[in-house]
Amino acid sequence: MKTLILKEIDDLIFGSLGIIVFISFFVGGVVAIQTALNIDNPLIPKYLVGFATRQSVILEFAPTFTSIIMAGKVGSYITSSIGTMRVTEQIDALEVMGINALNYLVFPKIIALMLYPFIIAIAMYLGIFGGWVAAVFGNYSTSAEFVQGIQVDFKDFHVIYAFTKTIIFAFILATIPAFYGFYMKGGALEVGKASTTSFVWTSVVIIIVNYIITQMMLG
């Protein structure tokens, strides 16, 4: 079981770092540029670029936007890998040997994705850093003004809120795709259909849960 968990951490967590780093950096940059372009009034302080970037990245872009992307990458991988085992009767073979196939296949994925908040922490940092790079090198704000915006009116609870969402999203990312893979019927064509369906429903559930948690914790 330990070997299985380490393999899932490698596949699901480390395997996703590249795309998360790339997306977070550029999304942060886009948020900073759009904010700067929308507050061209001289009466509005320039540090609001940093403030808006921090708020957008920590509250929404890092936890929610990243999770929807992960639903496509990680969710499809989980559904297709378990679905292929179902099609090739490997799951039936496990059950014949007296192994609890559901526990054997799904539990390591749930444990591995409990490390998902570490990815989101990196996404938060890189999103804000990307915003700083875009704002400073694009001459939308000075470095000092951007950093002042990051520091102004900072609330610890917003980070707690973001990581609370992240842990729940991680559980959703592990369970819904696994459900569609484990209980699928048919052949190789159905594996592709199951992957698409699992991505759609994982994304829908993440968006609905995001609304409910936001209403409960920030409303």
* pLDDT for the residue 176: 92
* pLDDT for the residue 24: 92
* pLDDT for the residue 3: 82
Strands (DSSP E) contained in the chain are none
Count each helix (H run) and each strand (E run) in the chain, helices first: 11, 0
* pLDDT for the residue 172: 93
User: For the whole model, what pTM was predicted?
Assistant: 0.87
* pLDDT for the residue 192: 84
Q: What is the mean pLDDT of residues 203-217?
A: 93
Q: What is the mean pLDDT of residues 50-59?
A: 90
* pLDDT for the residue 210: 93
Is the pLDDT at 41 greater than 80, yes or no? no
* pLDDT for the residue 85: 84
213: domain range? 2-217
**CB-based contacts of 86, cutoff 8 Å, min separation 6:** 181, 182, 184
Question: Could you tell me if 35 and 53 are in contact, meaning their C-beta atoms sit under 8 angstroms apart?
Answer: yes
**154-193 per-position pLDDT tens digit:** 888 999 999 999 999 999 999 999 998 888 887 778 888 8
Q: State the chain's mean pLDDT as an integer.
A: 87
Percent of the chain whose pLDDT exceeds 90: 31
Residue 86 class from Cβ within 10 Å (0-12 exposed, 13-18 middle, 19+ buried)? Answer: buried
* pLDDT for the residue 171: 92
**CB-based contacts of 88, cutoff 8 Å, min separation 6:** none
Distance CA 108, CA 3 (A): 9
The total domain count for the chain is 1
